[in-house]
Amino acid sequence: MNSSELEAFAAEIRIAAIECLAAFGQGHIGGSMSIADALAVLYGGELRHDPQNPQRADRDRLVLSKGHAGPALYAALALRGFFPRDLLATLNAGGTSLPSHVDRTKTPGVDMTCGSLGQGLSAGAGMAFGARLDGADRYTFVILGDGECQEGQVWEAARFARAHRLKNLVALVDENKQQLDGYVENVLGGGSIAGMFAACGWRVLEVNGHDVDAVSRAVQTAKDGLADAPTAVILDTVKGYGANFAEGLEFNHSLPVSKEEAESAIAAIRTGIGGAK
């Protein structure tokens, strides 16, 4: 996809994720919106995937470690044809294959079960290690939240991945600067996630997470093989970006999503397709 197609795809991911959340009536709108552009870049071409054969061995792997952003991933998967779009309306319904937090056993295209924060980078490191053992050229991408990076296991995994030179591992950190209890800076501020990955020996790239061209270039760089280390792409994002009822609120981690709010937000996104707002 070219950049305008990627922007349009990102807008469609936002729209489908809002519809998904509105069908249930509430959910993790903030972190689903902030990661939509990165998902568009991945599913728009940078991630090797096959909707007709979700378990294809040579696919790249994606671990959504911030598992509560499931609705955004489900939107991307539905739009790519992993399952019918009307399945999005079953979010969190009893017996659904689309639970609030991602589950590899339930959803075609979901590679790892996540939701207990801090665990995905370790699993991604294991997948990347396994690929290297097999001599496979696949990449493993792990999407982390910035609040999530308060979990100590993230840094155990970061040190592990560098020590074992997992250059086929890419962490994408959705630095939207907000978490459930408010602004990250107020909840557990201080320090820099980019600096922490750098201190762990990773190659670190910092980009505007809503600029699909910048994200694409960063992901391509992460795959260039030039660093003898894993790569962290720090995405400077806005929590709730593009959903007008959520963006700008301090407490927008999880919100009620009414049909009216959804319609208004979707209309606003459609007007602005070609730019998220």
Partner 1 sequence: MYTVLSEIKKSPVAMRDAFCSALTAAADADANVVYLDADLVSAFGMKPFFQKFPDRAIECGIAEANMVGVAAGLSAAGKIPFAHSFGCFTSRRACDQIMISCAYAKLNVRLIGSDPGITAAHNGGTHMPFEDMGVLRSIPGITLIDATDPVMLGDLVSQLASDKYYGVYYLRFPRKTAKAVYSAGSAFEIGRGSVLRDGADVTVIASGIMVAEALVAAETLAAEGISARVADVFTWKPIDRELIAKSAAETGAIVTAENHNVVGGLYAAVSEVTAATVPVPVERVGIEDRFGQVGGEDFLAREYGLTAEHIVAAAKTAISRKK
Asked if 111 interacts with partner 1 (CB under 8 A), we say yes
Q: Which stretch binds partner 1 (CB under 8 A): 69-77, 80-88, 119-127, 237-245?
A: 119-127
Q: Which of 48, 59, 85, 104 binds partner 1 (CB under 8 A)?
A: 104
Q: Which is nearer to partner 1, 114 or 204 (CB)?
A: 114
Q: Which is nearer to partner 1, 156 or 211 (CB)?
A: 156
Polymer length of the chain: 277
Site residue total, partner 1 (CB under 8 A): 33
Query: Containing H/E element for 183?
Result: strand 182-183
Pairing of strands 178-179, 255-256: unpaired
Radius of gyration of the chain (CA): 17
Q: Which of 16, 18, 33, 112 binds partner 1 (CB under 8 A)?
A: 112
Asked if 133 interacts with partner 1 (CB under 8 A), we say yes
Q: Which is nearer to partner 1, 17 or 127 (CB)?
A: 127
Task: Answer yes or no: are the C-beta atoms of 7 and 177 closer than 8 Å.
Answer: no
Question: Smallest gap, in angstroms, from Cβ of residue 55 to partner 1?
Answer: 11
- Cα–Cα distances in angstroms (integers) from residue 85 to residues 18, 140, 205, in the given order: 13, 26, 34
Residues from 143 through 162 that contact partner 1 (CB under 8 A): 152-153, 156-157, 159-160
Helix 259-271 × helix 3-24 angle, to 10° = 170
d(CA 45, CA 216): 9
Asked if 172 interacts with partner 1 (CB under 8 A), we say no
Asked if 116 interacts with partner 1 (CB under 8 A), we say yes
Asked if 127 interacts with partner 1 (CB under 8 A), we say yes
Minimal CA–CA distance to 1: which of 207, 175, 215? Answer: 215
Task: Answer yes or no: are the C-beta atoms of 275 and 242 closer than 8 Å.
Answer: no
d(CA 54, CA 130): 18
Q: Which of 113, 168, 231, 254 binds partner 1 (CB under 8 A)?
A: 113
Q: Coil, helix or strand for 16?
A: helix
Q: Which is nearer to partner 1, 20 or 158 (CB)?
A: 158
Asked if 254 interacts with partner 1 (CB under 8 A), we say no
Bridge partners of 173, per DSSP, are 144, 234
Asked if 129 interacts with partner 1 (CB under 8 A), we say yes
Task: Answer yes or no: are the C-beta atoms of 210 and 237 closer than 8 Å.
Answer: yes
Asked if 55 interacts with partner 1 (CB under 8 A), we say no
Pairing of strands 231-236, 182-183: unpaired
Q: Which stretch binds partner 1 (CB under 8 A): 24-32, 78-86, 91-99, 128-136?
A: 128-136
Task: Answer yes or no: are the C-beta atoms of 102 and 115 closer than 8 Å.
Answer: yes
Q: Which stretch binds partner 1 (CB under 8 A): 34-42, 75-83, 121-129, 204-212?
A: 121-129
Q: Using CB under 8 A as the criterion, which residues of the chain lie in contact with partner 1 when the complex forms?
A: 61, 63, 103-105, 111-116, 119, 121-131, 133-134, 152-153, 156-157, 159-160, 163-164
